[in-house]
Amino acid sequence: MITDVVLKEKQTDQNLNDFSFEDIGDDHLFTGIETPMKKDAFKISDEKKKEKIAGLFKEIMNVMGLDLTDDSLQGTPQRVAKMYIDEIFSGLNPANKPKVALFENKYKYNQMLVEKNITFYSNCEHHFVPIIGKAHVAYISSGKVIGLSKLNRIVQYYAKRPQVQERLTNQIAEELKGVLGTEDVAVIIDAKHLCVSSRGVKDNTSATVTSYFGGKFNTQEKIVELQNTLNY
């Protein structure tokens, strides 16, 4: 008799075009622009989530053979739970989405505005290890402007969740387009993935670059202008 677990694994393998998870290995899967979430993801409170995560992580540590009576390890399950919910995965909760105020473009500035070298820390959704990088975002005002710090906060919000870099790039771009009311948006992300450098192939020198060029930025002239600005 085939168990439910095996059936689920077989069904999942079919969704991967008949490749198994081991066949896929470290290859980059990208299922869509939306972060995969359960419909009842926020049915329980953050405090309850932290309580559950602490219990589950304690079990993981037990299975690994760690001595949870040691002074250094006793509080680790609670620390990890708090870190997951309140910090590194806080971007999963829409309640934490930054509130953005727009202002009239009274300076009549109609050239591109670039916020570069926005440092972010995310986590690979395949191995739950860090992605460390810099984001560069740019836009051309359609009549409204946004506070500079809000550009950073939008990047951080989408970075603070299990991520794939392609999705992160598109999510930031789509958010900026919606907030600013313009297609004239560009996003470039340059990041190192610890799932590549600290495990697997263990390549510590490579980096991954992704980009989104919308509206007026999707021309050779504007792309070159943006690249020259970033290289200053």
Q: Which amino acid is at 174?
A: E
pLDDT of residue 69: 96
pLDDT of residue 29: 59
pLDDT of residue 20: 64
Token pair, residue 61, equals 């540590």
163 is catalytic: no
**What number of other Cβ atoms are within 10 A of residue 157's Cβ?**
21
For the four alpha carbons of 161, 165, 171 and 172, in that order, the dihedral sign comes to positive
pLDDT of residue 50: 98
124 is catalytic: yes
As averages over each run of 10 residues, the pLDDT of the chain (232 residues) reads 41 55 58 90 96 98 98 98 98 96 94 98 95 98 95 98 97 97 98 85 86 97 96 89
195 is catalytic: yes
Active-site annotation holder among 127, 166, 174, 183: 127
pLDDT of residue 92: 98
11 is catalytic: no
pTM: 0.87
Runs of H (alpha helix) within 36-147: 46-64, 76-82
In whole angstroms, what is the distance from residue 25 CA to residue 14 CA?
Answer: 16
pLDDT of residue 16: 57
225 is catalytic: no
Active-site annotation holder among 115, 136, 163, 165: 165
The closest of 89, 90, 64, 61 to 75, measured between CA atoms, is: 61
Q: At which residue do the structure tokens 């951080």 appear?
A: 156
In whole angstroms, what is the distance from residue 70 CA to residue 16 CA?
Answer: 43
pLDDT of residue 202: 76
174 is catalytic: no
